[in-house]
Structure 1
């Protein structure tokens, strides 16, 4: 690895872990349990604000789901959230609710998060060498912590110094990576953008990170590596 790399920032889905686990296990689990979970916890401090934010986002789409008493629109809000799951929309309130629901599934032992063996191996090696590791995913920070805390390779959460989600901005927006850099610099004096290596399976995310000045590596796990790849492209963490 380039000696200039002082911090590693990694994506999850398609990078450290299979896309199929999220698509075929987590998303269906959330969709199945979301209606009852929302109804059972509608007045909880974590749920009520998420429902209000859902109404606000729906209003931006031209739908009026807001009400002084959010409970009056519960069914409509649930329907909207299920629609977003089907569309794989990266909506912050949905991600927050999914995280809460997934917590139940993890704690009940309904599933464990998938990890690519090479990802687990090298994340441990990098951590042991003193290289700070961070996560940036469209899933909420809570969902990220659950993912690594209940992985098939055990509790990997202690490997990471911090987590970022869409509250810093969209993953295909350059400003998001500048926001992350500013936060990292609070804990790592003298850190520059080119000292941060971002790992992802999505070219557009890598483009945004590169534009922010970060180094990038493209994980191409399932398909052939493009001949004209604009980023260093590898099949596993062992090649980084």
Structure 2
């Protein structure tokens, strides 16, 4: 059991609250064929993401929607954490959740522990490479019930910055109005552990069997389940 005192717990999603394979499988499969249609929409968010995707992938400025979509599918195949890709995926997934065509997945230990921490007065937030537009329905459509009432705020790489940079965690603690040493980040990625610790945060690494970073050298407290974390304020 790892015992800590914190005012705010900030959650990573992939590999931490939820199976990476579910996201890289079911959700990616849902988004992949829908990219072409979304890219053709007359929408400011889409236009911004499209332009950023063209710049990021090195396509010509006059690339067609089909060409941009194919380049983005290439990023998906390599699991590149691309901000414009995440923005477009967020639009697709939000619509899929609303239509009941897709659902989220959480490790069984996560929802009960989140509810217990919330009830004890510990604030909860989310920081994921996935866009906020996809984070919110992910927590709203949990099989264990709507978890969004537990979450105070959501952060992504647009609002906070890259997850492997200490400055991103500094922005989050400032936005939440919490001292860095009173913030706890839960993640499964060694580089994110390093970045959050550099910002003065407490960090616990999730080492869940079968997840992409399982067995890594994390350089911090490590647990296999949220049930192994005892938190007080």
**1:90 corresponds to which of 59, 68, 81:** 81
Conservation of the 8 A alpha-carbon contact between 2:11 and 2:125: yes
The one of the two structures with greater contact order (alpha-carbon pairs below 8 A, sep at least 6) is: 2
How many residue pairs get aligned? The number is 224
1:171 and 2:163 are equivalent in the alignment: yes
**What's 2:198 paired with?**
211
Secondary structure of 2:144 counterpart: coil
**What's 2:4 paired with?**
2
**1:238 corresponds to which of 218, 222, 227:** 227
Task: After TM superposition, give the deviation of residue 36 of structure 1 in Å.
Answer: 2.7
Could you tell me the TM-score, scaled by structure 1's length? Answer: 0.87
Secondary structure of 2:204 counterpart: strand
Q: Any gaps of 5 or more consecutive residues in structure 1?
A: 186-190
Q: Any gaps of 5 or more consecutive residues in structure 2?
A: none
Conservation of the 8 A alpha-carbon contact between 1:65 and 1:73: no
Which stretch of structure 1 is more off in the superposition, 109-118 or 137-146?
109-118
Task: After TM superposition, give the deviation of residue 21 of structure 1 in Å.
Answer: 1.1
Conservation of the 8 A alpha-carbon contact between 2:190 and 2:216: no
Conservation of the 8 A alpha-carbon contact between 1:225 and 1:234: no
Could you tell me the TM-score, scaled by structure 2's length? Answer: 0.89
Secondary structure of 2:200 counterpart: coil
Task: After TM superposition, give the deviation of residue 52 of structure 1 in Å.
Answer: 1.5
Task: After TM superposition, give the deviation of residue 64 of structure 1 in Å.
Answer: 4.1
Q: CA RMSD for the aligned pairs?
A: 1.9
Deviant stretches of 4+, over 6 Å: none
Secondary structure of 2:29 counterpart: helix
Which stretch of structure 1 is more off in the superposition, 104-113 or 93-102?
104-113
Equivalent-residue separation in structure 2 for 1:211 and 1:121 (angstroms): 30
Task: After TM superposition, give the deviation of residue 225 of structure 1 in Å.
Answer: 7.5
Equivalent-residue separation in structure 1 for 2:59 and 2:38 (angstroms): 23
